[in-house]
């Protein structure tokens, strides 16, 4: 029947637009929150890479949230204590098996007045992020780096020709520790490292340097090229170690204030650093050897420069010695005098006499001869 509202097909449709099945009520869109990061999505490639990085980082040295570092493992801890690494606390897990290494670590910590804290094993697991700590950990405070300007002032106060080592692209803390040790052994005044993309002074560095990092200053440069130009303005010669240099270690004079720039074994010196160097120097090697380790190359160079400086100091001391002291021979300090035919004779020699005299030239001291034999 027309007009009957009971018939659904007879109902006229309204011209008003429907709200899409919401009964005319407006509803806002409900989101699911911000998009998670790529490393937080289980199905993403970045998630697997982040997991691998976490597993790699779970090694013998863990960084604590307050900036300190925790060296774990019995042998690493004992080696750091022997190297006089400035530890702030020694953590020992409850129920740890007592052996000689643990006793030695506790004894050295007591001698050095390092606080010893016993913590539950699960707490040490949480601090280190893994269970490879062997029940012991040494907390190391952050290393205090020196500014490049302060390092320059310290060299000036020493009154010696400066010898500085700058590291470029060195990412292995063991290489850094070895360079610090070589620099201290051969009379260097400091080491400069970049602030980014470089190894820092960690527990591994402390152990490799055998404690010399406590006395030799290490400076951090925000821009290595700018720091090298600072050294050049201060009168330093900047020498870069790289293959194919115009100088070799045998021909270069290292007695003047010098900055030795060492690059990594694989990449070498970066382009801007190489262009900033005054001289590129290479180390003579056997033809079939391609390159040297960065710390070895630095040690060889520093050793040669130290030898040159010792030789120059000995020569300068000999030149400053009084002339009378340089020409004196014999026990009495008198010079030998030449006689006839160039033969040396004593000042008190009498040609006609036959009395005995002492000859005053080397090799004849204390020999008594007749003066007539000198004719």
Residue 11 resides in a domain: no
pLDDT of amino acid 285: 86
> Residue 202 CA to chain centroid, in angstroms?
11
The CATH number linked to 271 is: 3.40.1280.10
Where are any strands of DSSP class E within 186-338? 190-194, 218-221, 237-241, 247-248, 258-263, 279-282, 337-338
Q: How confident is the model at residue 192, as a pLDDT?
A: 95
Report pLDDT for 355.
47
Q: Are residues 182 and 127 in the same domain?
A: no
301 and 214 within one domain: yes
Q: Is 331 exposed, middle or buried (0-12, 13-18, 19+ CB in 10 A)?
A: exposed
Name residue 140's beta-bridge partners: 69
CATH number at residue 99: 3.30.1330.30
Q: Starting at the edge strand that comes first in sequence, how are the strands of the sheet with 237-241 ordered? A: 218-221, 190-194, 163-168, 258-263, 237-241, 279-282, 247-248
Q: Are residues 309 and 180 in the same domain?
A: yes
For residue 354, being part of any structural domain is answered with yes
With respect to residue 131, please indicate whether it lies within any of the assigned structural domains.
yes
Q: What are phi and psi of 344, to 5 degrees?
A: -70, 145
Which residue among 95, 118, 140 closes a domain? 140
What is the pLDDT, as a whole number, of residue 297? Answer: 92
Is residue 160 domain-shared with residue 300, that is, in the same domain? yes
- Residues in the chain, pLDDT under 70: 1-32, 52-67, 130-131, 322-375
Q: What is the pLDDT of residue 361?
A: 44
The residue from 109, 140, 171 where one domain ends is: 140
**Residues 271 and 209 placed together within one structural domain of the fold:** yes
Number of separate domains in the chain? 3
Owning domain of residue 123: 57-140
Residue 47 lies in a domain: no
In a shared domain, residues 185 and 207 = yes
Q: Is residue 7 part of a domain?
A: no
Q: What is the pLDDT of residue 357?
A: 45
Do 276 and 248 have their domain in common? yes
In-domain check, residue 50: no
Question: Does residue 49 fall inside a structural domain?
Answer: no
Q: What is the pLDDT of residue 335?
A: 47
In terms of domains, do 223 and 278 share one? yes
Q: So what's the pLDDT on residue 28?
A: 58
Instruction: Give residue 21's pLDDT.
Output: 55
Residue 26 lies in a domain: no
Residues 290 and 154 in one domain: yes
Residue 154, CA distances (Å) to 148, 159, 189, 230 in order: 10, 9, 8, 15
For the whole prediction, is pTM greater than 0.85?
no
The proportion of the chain whose per-residue pLDDT surpasses 90, expressed as a percent, equals 32
Output the pLDDT for position 333.
44
- pLDDT for position 109: 92
List phi, psi (to 5°) of 167.
-110, 135
Pairing of strands 89-93, 136-140: antiparallel
Residues 123 and 158 in one domain: no
Judgement on whether residues 214 and 298 belong to the same structural domain of the protein: yes
Q: In this predicted structure, what is the pLDDT of residue 247? A: 86
CA 313, CA 336: separation in Å to the nearest integer?
Answer: 30
The domain boundary residue, chosen from 140, 159, 187: 140
Asked if 118 and 225 sit in the same domain, the reply is no
């Amino acid at each position: 029947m027309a007009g009957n509202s009971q018939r659904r097909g007879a109902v006229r449709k309204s011209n008003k637009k429907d709200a899409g099945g919401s009964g005319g009520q407006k509803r806002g869109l409900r989101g699911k929150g911000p998009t998670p990061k790529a490393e937080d999505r289980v199905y993403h490639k970045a998630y697997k890479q982040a997991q691998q990085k976490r597993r790699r980082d779970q090694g013998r040295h863990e960084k604590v949230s307050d900036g300190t570092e925790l060296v774990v493992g019995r042998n690493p801890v004992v080696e750091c204590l022997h190297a006089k690494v400035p530890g702030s606390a020694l953590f020992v897990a409850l129920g740890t098996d007592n052996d000689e290494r643990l006793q030695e670590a506790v004894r050295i910590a007591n001698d050095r007045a390092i606080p010893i804290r016993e913590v539950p094993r699960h707490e040490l697991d949480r601090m280190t992020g893994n269970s490879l700590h062997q029940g012991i950990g040494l907390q190391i405070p952050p290393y205090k780096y020196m500014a490049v300007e302060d390092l320059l002032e310290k060299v000036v106060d020493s009154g010696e020709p400066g010898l500085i080592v700058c590291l470029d692209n060195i990412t292995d803390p063991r290489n850094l520790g070895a360079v610090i040790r070589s620099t201290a052994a051969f009379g260097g005044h400091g080491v400069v490292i970049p602030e980014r993309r470089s190894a820092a002074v960690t527990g591994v560095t402390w152990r490799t340097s055998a404690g010399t990092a406590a006395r030799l200053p290490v400076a951090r440069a925000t821009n290595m090229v700018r720091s090298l130009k600072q050294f050049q303005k201060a009168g330093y010669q900047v020498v870069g170690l790289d293959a194919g240099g115009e100088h070799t270690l045998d021909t270069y004079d290292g007695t003047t204030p010098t900055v030795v720039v060492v690059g990594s074994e694989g990449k070498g010196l970066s382009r801007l650093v190489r262009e900033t160097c005054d001289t590129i120097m290479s180390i003579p090697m056997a033809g079939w050897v391609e390159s040297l380790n960065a710390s070895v190359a630095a040690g060889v160079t520093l050793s040669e420069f130290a030898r040159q400086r010792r030789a120059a100091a000995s020569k300068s001391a000999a030149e400053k010695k009084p002339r009378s002291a340089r020409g004196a021979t014999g026990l009495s300090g008198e010079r030998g005098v030449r006689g006839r035919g160039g033969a040396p004779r004593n000042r008190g020699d009498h040609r006609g006499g036959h009395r005995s005299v002492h000859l005053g030239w080397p090799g004849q001291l204390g020999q008594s001869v007749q003066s007539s034999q000198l004719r």
